Amino acid sequence: MKKMVFTMAMLLMGVAAMAQNYIVVNSEKVFKSIAAYNTAIEELDALAEQYQGYVDAKFEEVEKLYNSYQQQKASLSESTRQQWEAVILQKEQEATQCQEQLFGQEGQLMKTRIEKIKPIQEKVFAAIENYAQSVGAQLVIDSANNPTLLYNSAAVERTDAVIATLKK
């Protein structure tokens, strides 16, 4: 682990030495400065909450069926028990499938997120690229949620300049 960290540090120092001109941008701050992004995030959060309520209701239905089955299990014949178990398993599979269709990587929430956020991302990334080219930067480092960025000087911090570029 120490060897890997040392190697990464040396690699970054080498890149920094080669690319003398770089800037640091906090992409999270840039995104949060855009009203359309904030609105999209609020809409997505509301949609996720709505979907979660729907999925929770499906799983509650399964739980109620299971609890009812457990209460009656002793008095049921073997064939009736098997029917109950089959229904419970089917309902559970339906609930799980519904959850996957709404929240999975190919789910409705992800599709909606891509639809709402991707155009904003493309605009921000284009603005960062244009700004970097205009100041002759060869490297852009994103300081948002980056646990490996230990220090950056205010002299290379250009988040506010990128935000100003976007607002033009």
Segment 46-84, tens digit of pLDDT:
999 999 999 999 999 999 999 999 999 899 999 999 999
The phi and psi torsions of 38 (rounded to 5 degrees) equal -60, -40
CB neighbour burial string for 54-72, b if at least 16 within 10 angstroms, e if fewer: ebeebeeebeebeeebeee
pLDDT digits (tens, 9 = 90+) for 128-162: 889 988 888 888 888 887 766 655 667 777 888 88
The answer to whether residues 148 and 29 touch, using CB atoms and an 8 Å cutoff, is no
pTM of the model: 0.72
